[in-house]
Amino acid sequence: MSEKHGTKIVLTASATEMSDFLNNPFIAFVGGFAKGPVPLWFLRRNLYPPVKRNPDGRAKYAPYGLRKVEALLLKNGFKESDVAVVHPQDLNSFVGPNTKAIGISSMDPTGMGYVSKTYSSIVGGGEPMNAIEFRQLVKNKSIRTYKPRVIVGGFGSWQLERKKVADSYGVDCVIMGEGEEVVANIFEKAVNGQEIPRVVRVQESCEEKEVPTIKHPAVHGCVEISRGCGRNCQFCTPTMQKKRDIPLERILEEVKTTVNEGSSRITLVTEDLFLYGAKDPRFIPDKKAVVKLVKSVANVPHVKAIQPSHTSLAPVVADPSMVKEIAEILIDYNWYYHGSKAIITSETGLETGSVRLMRKYMTGKMLPYKPEQWPEIVSQSFGIMNDCDWYPLATLIIGLPDELEEDVNATLELMDNLHDYSAFYVPLFFVPLENCILMDKKGTELDSLNKARWELFIRCWEYNVRIWRDTFLKHRIPNPLLFKFIKHVAIPYAGTAAGIFYRFKHGEQMQRAIWKMATA
């Protein structure tokens, strides 16, 4: 199964990141929820089961960032036999006296991400699953026994420094920022027993040509098509990276690697699919480049589903014909359904309906339009997307610094205008992420939720229940009688019990909201 005395370098991630969440990229966000009284073994089996293994025990799929590290190590002189990418459950088979370094990638190691902060405080039940699983990983017995150097990178690595837990977690080196130009050197030093830095902060964006393509598939068939954004939203970190489009031939090479190793589903990783190839400083999309990209990926033999990770709203209004044309392709490669209808989806930032806050923190978000036009852009783009069976997953931020009640009311008004559109809404507390312009500001806490903020939070989830409940239940409960029982009896009863519980936790309005959702 593995080298008898351990593989020289072992790459891994926590159990919530080494899973495809039963093939559902958007459900993966529940890793930020608290586990409550549910035992870990149950969650590992039923919510985030391990990725498949190859016959040699290595992981068949791994987070995209880990695959990039693997490719960088192979490019820099390490052999395939020197590097094993494994699920944490398999560490005992791969870590031994010969193991010199463990590389861990993490999105949310201590539960300080947007979803974790928001939902673990509202729903309650303790620490988020992401944080529990990361701790379990670094405390793994074979790591403790053989003491290889532990190197942590990834989007959430900053959390270890902010919480000052790196030492107690036995982490020797934390890499923050784009690590591509430093990572091979650090592993080389670790393998040779040389000193490695405790913290590495990479401020510059790496040169794309220096980054090798992945050699094995990523979870959800992730393939990066662009990096960075450039719209300068002040709460966001991708905007600090230089915007780069990955050349089409490199994208297709990674798509082929992915399908050749058994994944027929491709996730296009980007901050904005609609701006792939765009050169215009006012963020006018380049329709030809986007259509060519989507067509080319769809034409790779054996690709069966294509999921764009993120899109923004202004380009939809700027070029509705582009959206229509790519939707006509993507609908044949759909990953999701609404009822029995095939739909396309992607994550998008709605953020707020307040023109004042848009002007203050996000003046680039609606380019080529003006901040005053934002509410109209949101409504129009939702309409255009829905006409193409494209149902966005929209995130909203509650508690941006200096948010006033009138700002929240503006968002509530916008939500009223969106009532008849289909989307999934994810309201999130503001979190001052590392390396964003607002990083020194105070994050939103549960006790700062006034009546208007609660109202917005509840409105989003009322919409979600109304739009998605039947789809959610039908895909899990095929038996029509059982479906009726769950919908009309079990959910209202559970809603009543949950309402009473949350009334004591968060007040009467929460109880009313849960009751409304349960009986919608």
Which residues are near ligand SF4 by CB under 6 A?
A: 229, 231-233, 236, 238-239, 271, 312, 349, 365
**Residue 133 or residue 347: which is nearer to ligand SF4 going by CB?**
347
* Min dist. Cβ of residue 228 to ligand SF4 (A): 8
**Residue 137 or residue 236: which is nearer to ligand SF4 going by CB?**
236
**Residue 100 or residue 231: which is nearer to ligand SF4 going by CB?**
231
* Min dist. Cβ of residue 258 to ligand SF4 (A): 24
Asked if residue 216 lies in contact with residue 257, where contact means CB atoms within 8 angstroms, the answer is yes
Continuous segment of H or E residues that includes residue 265: strand 265-269
* Min dist. Cβ of residue 351 to ligand SF4 (A): 7
Closest residue by Cα to residue 315 from 326, 307, 305, 306 = 326
* Min dist. Cβ of residue 394 to ligand SF4 (A): 12
* Min dist. Cβ of residue 115 to ligand SF4 (A): 15
**Residue 78 or residue 155: which is nearer to ligand SF4 going by CB?**
155
* Min dist. Cβ of residue 114 to ligand SF4 (A): 11
**Residue 191 or residue 367: which is nearer to ligand SF4 going by CB?**
367
CA distances (Å), origin 277, targets 125, 134, 240, 290, 317: 44, 37, 19, 7, 18
* Min dist. Cβ of residue 368 to ligand SF4 (A): 14
Write the DSSP string, 36-91.
Answer: TTS-HHHHHHHTSPPPPB-TTS-BS-B-HHHHHHHHHHHHTT--GGGEEE--GGGH
**Residue 239 or residue 346: which is nearer to ligand SF4 going by CB?**
239
The strand pairing partners of 102, in sequence order, are: 10, 150
Closest residue by Cα to residue 505 from 456, 466, 454 = 454
User: CB 41: neighbour CB atoms within 10 A?
Assistant: 8
* Min dist. Cβ of residue 310 to ligand SF4 (A): 7
**Residue 18 or residue 233: which is nearer to ligand SF4 going by CB?**
233
**Residue 63 or residue 238: which is nearer to ligand SF4 going by CB?**
238
For 101, the token pair is: 């370094």
Taken in order 24, 27, 32, 34, the sign of the CA dihedral is negative
**Residue 72 or residue 367: which is nearer to ligand SF4 going by CB?**
367
In this structure, what are the phi and psi dihedrals at residue 371, rounded to the nearest 5 degrees?
A: -55, -40
State the Cα–Cα distance between residues 414 and 407, nearest whole angstrom: 11
Contacts of 227 (CB under 8 A, 6+ apart): 178, 205, 208, 238, 241, 242, 243, 244, 246, 270, 271
**Residue 2 or residue 241: which is nearer to ligand SF4 going by CB?**
241
State the Cα–Cα distance between residues 424 and 496, nearest whole angstrom: 24
Examine residue 368 and say whether the peptide bond preceding it is cis (omega within 30 degrees of 0): yes
Using DSSP bridges, classify how beta strands 265-269 and 305-308 pair: parallel, antiparallel or unpaired. Answer: parallel
Closest residue by Cα to residue 408 from 418, 398, 393 = 398
* Min dist. Cβ of residue 76 to ligand SF4 (A): 30
Write the DSSP string, 407-442.
Answer: HHHHHHHHHHHTTTS--EEEEEE----TTSTTTTSP
* Min dist. Cβ of residue 365 to ligand SF4 (A): 5
* Min dist. Cβ of residue 392 to ligand SF4 (A): 13
For 105, the token pair is: 């990638």
Residues 450, 456, 461: CA angle, nearest 5 degrees: 130
**Residue 392 or residue 499: which is nearer to ligand SF4 going by CB?**
392
